[in-house]
Every structure is written in structure tokens, then in C-alpha cells.
Homo-oligomer: A and B are copies of this chain.
Amino acid sequence: MEQLKIVVIGGVAAGPKAAARAKRCHPNAQVTIIEKGEWLSYGGCGLPYFLGATVKELKDLMATSWEAVRTPEFFKKAKDIDVLMGWEAVKIDRDNKRVEIKNVNTGETQELPYDKLVLATGAEPNTPPIEGVDAAGVFHLKNPRHTLDMKEYLLNNDITNAIVIGGGLIGIETSEAIANWGIDVTIIEMQDQVLPFLLDKELASAFAAYLEQEDLNIITGTKVQKIIKNQKGQVKGVETDKGIIEGEMVLISAGVRPNIALAEQAGLNVEKGIIVNEFLQTSDPDIYAGGDCVVCEHKVSEQKVYVPLGSTANKHGRIIGTNVTGGNEQFPGVLGTSIVKVFDWNAGRTGLSEAEAKQLGYDVVTAFVPGPDKAHFFPGKKLILTKLIADRETGKILGAQLIGPGDIARRLDIMVTAITFGATAHQVANLDLAYAPPFSPAMDNIINAANVIKNIIDGKAKNMGYKEFKSKLDDDNVIYIDLRTEEERKAKSLPAKNILHIPYEELRARSTEIPRDKEIIVFCILSTRAFEAQLILNHLGFKNVKFVDAGIQFWPL
């Protein structure tokens, strides 16, 4: 039998993983990786940390656990995989099953025959079509070369202000890295919130308030129209639709787009990204694709989504490696899970956002539950705010978002797993989660949040969004009842026109003080008391009573 020839285009994440897995499944296969760049098999998600010097050396991003660096020699010696560095695949001849490759330095071309071809061509950063993007001091942060260039520029120029165009995940991670250099950072985001693909608006506003507290300048709803240069051709600022912002460096983080040109040229099915089936085969069954160049099915919406992530790329690589050597594993799709740490806060999401769920026609219920990430009496506990998005009819959880300084990753992954299996709020509320005081409250945040969803669906809990809560402060027909203790009131005050201070414990005794002709909004810090207060007041005959989602701890007032 002829040796099975596998050609892998792309050497960062999905590609090397597919190659290594293919060799493990089929040691006789002849596996070749084509990589046009200078580096192989690196942790691209670590680049902002290398920029900010959290990670000291670039080679740390491409090291194994035993500190071997994943060079072409390593791949050959350890894994018997050939790597062609500095070669670019330029054309696929599907009829003759050959790939034409070109040396990026010499221009020399070659043809490589394949039995199975793997496209792991990754993604490129978007560049908005604005004047001046060619200025010195304008950067992307997608590969090691970008990062080294940016570090060099930071070292060799006197930079006091940097401008980050795009307040998404990478923009914000990189803002922290730049701030680590002692530089003032201004983030300019076109949409009216930061992290638009990660957080719903109310959580984004809480997160932005934290970022501002950490001295990042955040400008939302603003479009950069031009990058202004000095006489040397270097950045000296940007012109936006709201005025000029000065700065000696610009990072463009306007998202990425899949590298699909090669697939398109080969006549493969392509939409936003390369289309693959559940076996990660393209429309040509001998050509597989995975990682940042493909679109995946979203498990809740069942729509094709583009969510490029190192974790997905690795899963793709493994499945492709299995399938190109005769296996038939299926990739079940994604939930659009993302997480980010910036300074001492975290933010994450999985499943559908509130807007996405509404767009899909769900009758949406949301619950906001703030609380400590350890037992309330345990030292070192930190707050997190959980938002769950559910379907009123079935009680099924559709999405989850979390922010805060505490351990959100654990709760997010519980929800990832629960949503994967179509869990209802009742099922989530009764998960036998790991409990001991150093790890969580006896009723974990996730369990409380699921119970709030149930209380809302049952009609017991009558909640009001933060936006509405804030919009009625001047309303004569509304009375706010502040349930906090005297001590608690010192920390944060609410500028409401009509406000009554009745500590929660005194509410039953002092209910006669509350006017019966007004809309009543009860609030405390975390809304634990406010929900109880709403029930007490309902029981005492007050009809129009609501509590504010999540209390007032997290919201900018």
C-alpha cells in the first residue's frame, strides 16, 4: 500500500494538532505542515501577555511542558512530521489532489501531492478603511511579528498616550498590556458599549465603570475617521466624529476575518468562513478545515457562527487528525463561550445573549444575581455578578454572562456544560455542585440565579432592569425604598426624588409609612432583601412593587 499523504496548511493551532493526532492514529502516514509565517505552534492568545511582560519570553508561548520549543526540527525528530516554514499554499488542484506552494522569500514554487488535505489557514486582523492606517506606530496584535514590532516601537519611542481602536476582547486585554508600560490608554469603540460580543449592555456598563476606575479612558459610540501623522509619518493622534484624541501609538483591534481565499479559489463552500460538516469536512470530502478559518454551528441557535478561539482550534485539530486517518468523529458545535481577565476583573459569556435570544423568538426571562464566590464568612471572598438568560415557556437556560473580581470561570463552565445538555433552571438549581467554604457559598451563585429565574417564571419575583430603575429617579409617581442599614447607606447614595429609608428588618412594622398610590421600587445592595421586601409588600396589599435586578452594588449610578 502507498503511504497515506496528509498535507496540513497552517502551523499555529489546529494545523499542528491535526498533524500530531494524525501521526498518533496512523504512524505510517507522511504528514507535512506548510506554514508561511516565522513561528510554529504558538499560543496566540498569550501575545497580549507577552506584550505586557506577564510572559517574559516569546519562546515560552511555543514551549512544551518540558521546555522544548516546537521548532520544525522538534516536529521532525519527535513526531516524524515534516514542516515547511516560510512556504505559502497558493493553489489547490482538487482534481489531481495537489497543492501548489510558494516560498515567501524566494518566490520558488513546488507542488505537493495529498491524499487528505487540511486547511488550518487561520484568520487575519481587520483593518478599517481609514486614512492614515499606514502611519508608523499603528499596530495589530495577531501574531508574534506584530507583537515584537510593537514592543520595539514602545522601547524606542517616547509614548505617553496610546489609542486602542476597538473595545472588544483583544482590544481590552491589550489595553491592560499597554497600560503595564506606564502609558495612558484610550479605548475608542464604535458601538455604544465595550465588549459588544461578550456582554449585554448593562453588564458592559458595569465592566466599563471598573475599567475607568483602573484609569483606562473609554469612549463608546464613537468612530475613528482618520489617523493623524506628524511630519515623520508617525501617529500623533486620531480624528473621530466627536473630536481629536492625541496619542503616539494606535492599536487596531477591530476583529479578525477568516483566511478563506485559498478555499474560495478551490471552489469549496465558503460563507463567513469555510463551511464544514460535523466531521469537519469541507464540500470536498478529502479536504478538511478547522480552527479560525471555519464557521461552526452554535448549539443553541443552530446557526453558523464565527467564534475563532484557540480552544476550538485544538478540538478541531484532534478530530481532523482522527478523521483524515480513517476515523469518523463528530464535532458537536460551539456555544460562543468567551472569557477575559482585565486587571483584577473577569468577564465571560456562553450561549445566547439576551438580544440573540429575543431575535430567535424566545420569550426571554433574565436573572441577575450578585454574590460572593466563597462562603460569606470566608476571608478573601470576592464578588461576582451572574446573569442567566432563559426561555419562559420551558425554563431552559439559553445563555449566561458573568463579571466581577471573583471566580467567574467556574460558574461559566458549569453553565457551558448545563447549556450543552439543554438544562432547565430547575435542573441547574439542583446540581450537586462542590461545596466547602473556601470554594463557594452553600447555595452557589449559579444555583441562586437559577432559582431567581424560577421565581420570575412562577410570578413570585417581580424584577426591574437597571436601566428602568435609573430612568425613574425623577419620577413623581415612583417611590424608592432603600432597605439598607445605616452603615451600608454611607457607601453609595441613590439620587432619587422620592426615597424612603426603611431597613429591611423594619419593613413589616413600618409599612404604613409607604404611600399606596405610587409605583414602589425596593432596593438593597445585592437584592436578597429587596426580593423578600417585594413579597412582604405584596402580602400587605401593595400591588405595584418591583425590586431592581442585582441590587445597587454593581451598577454605575
Question: CB distance B45 to A437 under 8 Å?
Answer: yes
Nearest to A421 among chain B residues (CB) is B421
Q: Could you tell me which residues of chain A, from 421 to 448, have a CB within 8 Å of some CB in chain B?
A: 421, 423, 426-427, 429-440, 442-444, 447
Give which listed residue, B312, B318, B431, B535, contacts A432 with CB less than 8 A: B312
Residues of B within 8 A of A132 (CB): none
A161 within 8 A of B: no
Give which listed residue, B331, B409, B433, B487, contacts A434 with CB less than 8 A: B409
Give which listed residue, B339, B420, B451, contacts A427 with CB less than 8 A: B420
Residues of B within 8 A of A43 (CB): 375-377, 437, 442
Q: How far is the CA of A414 from the CA of B420 in the complex (A)?
A: 11
Question: CB distance A440 to B509 under 8 Å?
Answer: no
Question: CB distance A443 to B311 under 8 Å?
Answer: yes
A314 within 8 A of B: yes
Q: How far is the CB of A470 from chain B (nearest CB, A)?
A: 22
Q: Could you tell me the dominant secondary structure of chain A's interface residues?
A: mixed
Residues of B within 8 A of A433 (CB): 311, 337, 413, 416
Stretch at the interface among A2-10, A74-82, A260-268, A542-550: A74-82
Residues of B within 8 A of A336 (CB): 432
Instruction: Tally chain A residues at the interface, Cβ within 8 Å.
Output: 107
Give which listed residue, B27, B64, B414, B528, contacts A65 with CB less than 8 A: B528
Q: How far is the CA of A487 from the CA of B65 in the complex (A)?
A: 13
Chain A 452-486, CB-CB to B under 8 Å as 1, else 0, gives: 00000000100000000000000000000000110
Knowing A311-B443, A427-B420, the reply to whether A378 touches B49 (Cβ < 8 A) is yes
Question: CB distance A409 to B440 under 8 Å?
Answer: yes
Q: How far is the CA of A504 from the CA of B75 in the complex (A)?
A: 12
Knowing A78-B504, A437-B45, A439-B341, the reply to whether A414 touches B414 (Cβ < 8 A) is yes
Q: How far is the CB of A195 from chain B (nearest CB, A)?
A: 13
Question: CB distance B430 to A332 under 8 Å?
Answer: yes
A488 within 8 A of B: yes
Q: Which of A64, A375, A504 has the most CB of B within 10 A?
A: A375
Question: CB distance A377 to B61 under 8 Å?
Answer: yes
Q: How far is the CA of A78 from the CA of B503 in the complex (A)?
A: 10
Question: CB distance A442 to B377 under 8 Å?
Answer: no
Knowing A27-B535, A437-B45, A505-B77, the reply to whether A13 touches B442 (Cβ < 8 A) is yes
Residues of B within 8 A of A64 (CB): 376, 528
Knowing A375-B45, A460-B24, the reply to whether A310 touches B434 (Cβ < 8 A) is no
Residues of B within 8 A of A430 (CB): 315, 331-332
Q: How far is the CB of A394 from chain B (nearest CB, A)?
A: 16
Q: How far is the CA of A344 from the CA of B313 in the complex (A)?
A: 33
A54 within 8 A of B: yes
A37 within 8 A of B: no
Residues of B within 8 A of A332 (CB): 427, 430
Q: How far is the CB of A262 from chain B (nearest CB, A)?
A: 24
Knowing A43-B442, A413-B410, the reply to whether A432 touches B350 (Cβ < 8 A) is yes
Residues of B within 8 A of A63 (CB): 376-377
A212 within 8 A of B: no
Q: How far is the CA of A182 from the CA of B469 in the complex (A)?
A: 53
Q: How far is the CA of A443 from the CA of B20 in the complex (A)?
A: 14
Residues of B within 8 A of A525 (CB): 65-66
Give which listed residue, B318, B341, B443, B460, contacts A438 with CB less than 8 A: B341
A529 within 8 A of B: yes
Knowing A434-B350, A442-B13, the reply to whether A536 touches B429 (Cβ < 8 A) is no
Question: CB distance B460 to A55 under 8 Å?
Answer: no
Q: A333-B432, A409-B440 are in contact. List 19 more A-B contacts (CB 8 A).
A: A13-B442, A24-B460, A27-B536, A27-B539, A28-B539, A43-B437, A55-B378, A63-B376, A65-B528, A66-B504, A74-B505, A78-B504, A299-B432, A313-B442, A314-B442, A410-B410, A413-B434, A416-B433, A421-B421
Pairs A–B under 8 Å by Cβ, sample size 30: A24-B532, A43-B375, A46-B377, A60-B377, A65-B371, A65-B372, A65-B525, A66-B485, A66-B488, A66-B525, A67-B485, A68-B485, A74-B505, A77-B505, A77-B506, A77-B509, A79-B532, A310-B435, A311-B433, A311-B442, A311-B444, A312-B432, A315-B447, A332-B430, A337-B435, A350-B434, A409-B440, A410-B410, A413-B413, A413-B434
